[in-house]
Amino acid sequence: MSTTNNPVILITGANTGLGYEAVKALYKSSQAYEILLGSRTVSKGDEAVATLKTEVPSSASTVSVIQIDVESDSSIEAAFSTISEKYGRLDSLINNAGAGVDTQIQSGELGLREAWLKSWNVNVASAHVLTSTFIPLLLASSRPQLMFVTSGTSALSETEGSDYPPLARLNQSPGAGWPKEKQVNPITCYRSTKTGLNMLMREWFKILKEDGVKVWGISPGFLATGLGGIGEEALKKMGARDPSEGGEFIKDVVEGKRDEDVGKVIRATMIQPW
């Protein structure tokens, strides 16, 4: 078993998008970490690590790939066993893996029920199962952290908002008649699951409060990632920001800069309303 004193951090869905940017931000930090890059496919994880070491040639940290498919209980259990045997603890669990399937509903690639079940399975049920499995390792840490990556679109109180252009666009009602015109960036399914994820975070905050586990919902903002199949350039034209901003935000949370906001859904500059 490793005797490292460096914080051990697992990020799911970390070979691309926001997860990768979080790995990179931590890898660039002057603080040394044991970063576990969770990837459904090991080869894609290895490619991400190779890219990372090209972009960040030197680091105080160590990064390694952990095979984990959040939709597979056996994969989750195997990852738990690997981390348990090597480190005996986990200091930070970042539930980042997610799915945006609304465009696949719109295109007819997935049926409506099939897509909704998949979205809830990946975005909510899988995060719950994975967290439940890894609790013993978190409780073995002296500074346990638990994060659920949610969405700025998940706030119920902002579903009528129009002061922020991307939100105004998402909240705009379509014209009368059926079927409705296809949206450029449909998120009905995605948005609903992330609202559900916020409640899951609150439940875990309650469950683990007396165990000293710091729990947050991470709302990284509107970022130009590959999630949902829209395309990074198209998202940037809609006002999406560089994904690296989200990675830096997660690093700041890991490094204690939002400890006063545990139990909340947090944005980089504020607490997100419910």
What is the length of the chain? 274
* 3 state DSSP class of 211: helix
43 is annotated as an active-site residue:
no
Alpha helices in 38-187 (DSSP H): 42-55, 73-86, 102-107, 112-120, 126-139, 165-171
* 3 state DSSP class of 246: helix
| HSE of 238, CA atoms in CB hemisphere, 13 A | 21
190 is annotated as an active-site residue:
yes
20 is annotated as an active-site residue:
no
Beta strand 214-218 with 265-267: parallel, antiparallel or unpaired?
parallel
Which candidate in 29, 61, 141, 151 is catalytic?
151
- Exposure of 246 by Cβ count < 10 A (0-12 exposed, 13-18 middle, 19+ buried)? buried
Spatial separation of the C-alpha atoms in residues 26 and 136, rounded to whole Å: 24
Which candidate in 20, 24, 154, 194 is catalytic?
194
Which candidate in 20, 27, 87, 190 is catalytic?
190
Catalogue the active-site residues. 151, 190, 194
